[in-house]
């Protein structure tokens, strides 16, 4: 009779945990769908600005445009932008390794890769600030300047928000919020960080290579 009571108690606990796991899987899938839709809306936002930039660029006979004084605006510093881009793309790699380390329950490696991602993200933003201070155009009075500062500034704002997000995830991961099987926040953070990487690929081509 005692064995029967123990088995019944064990089955009740197992059923309760199964219900919790089932609820987590359901909410995880819904949150993932919501997050993907958010990223799609961001793609639409960037696409609208990019198509506006392409329209304005094709509306003038010369690019960079010629000013009212007859001087052609200088091109952006491709070499510096390439180095800064490698910094951002490197942060995408470190974020991938951080996520993989968490999946394999290697918390020290996760912390190392997350810190590296945050540092590289901050370095990229610092490089962008440096470029803004030394670029030969301004936001006002120039189609080229207005589109450049608007699009890269909007991307930089996303990187800034991403850094805050990653710091929050780092703190949460080290205070027991996530486990080896329940870590949706880390998954969302990884998707977001790869998203800013992909957007920068398009912007780098448009402003520095095209």
**pLDDT of 101-119, one tens digit each?**
999 999 999 999 999 999 9
- How large is the angle between the packed helices 78-103 and 143-173, nearest 10 degrees? 20
pLDDT tens sequence across 52-106: 999 988 887 877 777 666 677 788 899 999 999 999 999 999 999 999 999 999 9
Q: How far apart are CA 142 and CA 92, in angstroms?
A: 33
Beta-ladder partners of 72:
66
Residue, of 164 and 12, whose pLDDT is higher: 164
pLDDT tens sequence across 24-46: 666 878 888 999 999 999 999 99
Closest CA to 106 of 162, 164, 173, 171: 173
CB atoms within 10 A of CB 101: 18
13, two tokens: 């606990």
pLDDT tens sequence across 146-161: 899 999 999 999 999 9
Count structural domains, the chain. 1
Range of the domain at 179: 2-209
Please give the backbone phi and psi of residue 173, each rounded to the nearest 5 degrees, phi first: -65, -30
CATH number for 173: 1.20.120.80
pTM value is 0.85
Q: Is the dihedral of CA 188, 192, 197, 198 positive or negative?
A: positive
The alpha carbon torsion through 113, 117, 122, 125 (nearest 10 deg) reads: 160
């Amino acid at each position: 009779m005692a064995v029967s009571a123990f088995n019944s108690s064990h089955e009740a606990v197992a059923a309760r945990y199964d219900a919790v796991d089932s609820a987590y899987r359901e909410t995880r899938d819904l949150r993932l769908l919501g997050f993907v839709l958010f990223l799609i809306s961001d793609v639409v936002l960037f696409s609208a600005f990019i198509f506006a930039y392409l329209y304005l660029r094709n509306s003038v006979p010369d690019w960079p445009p010629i000013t009212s004084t007859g001087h052609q605006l200088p091109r952006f510093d491709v070499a510096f932008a390439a180095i800064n881009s490698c910094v951002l793309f490197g942060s995408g790699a470190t974020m991938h390794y951080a996520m993989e380390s968490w999946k394999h329950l290697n918390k020290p490696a996760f912390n190392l890769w997350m810190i590296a991602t945050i540092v590289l993200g901050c370095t990229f933003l610092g490089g962008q600030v440096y470029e803004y201070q030394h670029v030969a155009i301004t936001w006002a009075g120039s189609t080229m300047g207005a589109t450049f500062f608007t699009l890269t500034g909007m991307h930089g704002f996303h990187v800034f928000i991403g850094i805050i997000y990653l710091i929050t995830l780092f703190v949460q991961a080290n205070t027991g919020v996530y486990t080896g099987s329940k870590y949706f926040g880390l998954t969302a953070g990884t998707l977001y960080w790869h998203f800013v990487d992909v957007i920068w690929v398009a912007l780098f081509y448009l402003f520095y290579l095209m």
